[in-house]
Amino acid sequence: MPLVFSSPPISTATAHLLTFLFAFTYVGSLYVSKNARLSFSKQRSNNSNGTPHEKLRDERWRDDPGVIKARLIAAIIATLISCGLVFSIIWSVVGERPDRVEVTLDTMIARLGFKPDRLDLDMILPHLLTPVLFIGPLFGMYLGRSLPFQARYSFQVDVVDKFTTWIGIRNYIVAPITEEIVFRACVIAVYHMSGASAKRMIFLGPLSFGLAHAHHAWDTFNRYGRTACAAKRAILMSLFQLAYTTVFGFHCSYMFLRTGSVYPAISAHIFCNIMGLPEIAWELKAYPNRKKAILFAYAAGIVGFACTLGPWTRLSGMYTFWAARPYVNMSY
């Protein structure tokens, strides 16, 4: 039975510090090993066509298989460290008792949302929220005949080749799982134990997730030639990524709080990585005779998402973090 706290076991300042530590450990781990660090030529590129310069033999880019392998190992280790920190906090609160290990482990599993999902409609619906929001892009894929069982869909290309490469393993498996565990489960767990409100956990927690992507600016700056234009591109891309990942974090944090499970957030992350950013402008240009249908599909996705967000994340008979005294209500 998970431990029930009668008062917040940690302070808000401690929660802030731990959140910073989670982010620092995760991002910092990517640069500890020499094999995981990126390497660029210090030469400036005269490339002015808005594309990355040609990779030199002595350079190490983030999509190199060796770099990906090293970074995947680092991310997994950093995730285990973050989970261990949550475990140690609960361990210290539990104190000496015969079932200390069992209670600490059960509490950590509950607070990190690791409890296995039930195989019923209540636990399936949260996983369908993000696809509802993407009705517009999915309709665009339908027009392009690239959905499963359509003419341009290839299981070999769209599934096997996509998910078995090192880039695919990183983008669609390891990164979504480890990032949601660290930046969703661990971050919300410590804010929850500090007595933070649901609003604070939804809108404050994801900031660390957004900021953790800022280090990609260095990669962009170097790949585009280390020029003033490259610096501008790196800053703009980082700001956009900060905004996009933070807003996405709001969505995943809400689902985590409502369901008490990290799995809907993981599935949403994987789905978004597969779909990429919506390309409504390109779709409107590519299919001029279907403009109204495309706009309707995008509007339907937004309206459908807004209408189902609450009902599809309301689980009956199962603990959620959605409570008046969030640090107390911790039993199933």
Beta carbons of 23 and 211 less than 8 angstroms apart: yes
CA torsion 137→141→142→143, rounded to 10°? 100
Residues 6+ apart with CB under 8 A from 97: 103
pLDDT digits (tens, 9 = 90+) for 91-145: 999 889 999 999 999 999 989 999 876 677 778 999 999 999 999 999 999 999 9
Q: How far is CA 127 from the centre of its chain?
A: 14
Residues 6+ apart with CB under 8 A from 57: none
User: pLDDT value at position 41?
Assistant: 79
Mean pLDDT of the chain: 89
User: pLDDT value at position 223?
Assistant: 85
Query: How far apart are the C-alpha atoms of 315 and 32, rounded to whole Å?
Result: 42
Query: How far apart are the C-alpha atoms of 264 and 124, rounded to whole Å?
Result: 9
| Sign, CA torsion 219/222/223/227 | positive
User: pLDDT value at position 116?
Assistant: 74
User: pLDDT value at position 49?
Assistant: 61
Mean pLDDT of 205-209: 90
CA-to-CA separations, 73 to 63, 77, 178, 212, 306, in angstroms, rounded = 15, 6, 11, 18, 38
Q: How far is CA 80 from the centre of its chain?
A: 16
pLDDT category of residue 71 using cuts at 50, 70 and 90:
very high
Mean pLDDT of 43-58: 71
Q: Is 211 exposed, middle or buried (0-12, 13-18, 19+ CB in 10 A)?
A: middle
Nearest to 195 by CA among 319, 34, 24, 9: 9
Mean pLDDT of 231-244: 91
Question: What stretches of 260-322 show up as alpha helix (H) in DSSP?
Answer: 263-275, 280-286, 291-308
Residue-by-residue DSSP string for 42-87: -PPP---SSSPPPPPTT-B-TTSHHHHHHHHHHHHHHHHHHHHHHH
Catalytic center residues:
179, 213
What pTM, to 2 d.p., does this model score?
0.91
pLDDT category of residue 324 using cuts at 50, 70 and 90:
very low
Query: How far apart are the C-alpha atoms of 154 and 157, rounded to whole Å?
Result: 5
Q: Which two tokens stand for residue 20?
A: 């910073």
CB neighbours of residue 13 within 10 Å? 9
Nearest to 80 by CA among 230, 181, 10, 203: 181
Residue-by-residue DSSP string for 91-134: HHHH-S-TTHHHHHHHHHHHHTT-SPPPSSHHHHHHHHHHHHHT
User: pLDDT value at position 55?
Assistant: 82
Number of alpha carbons in the 13 Å side-chain half-sphere of residue 325: 9
User: Percent of the chain, pLDDT > 70?
Assistant: 91
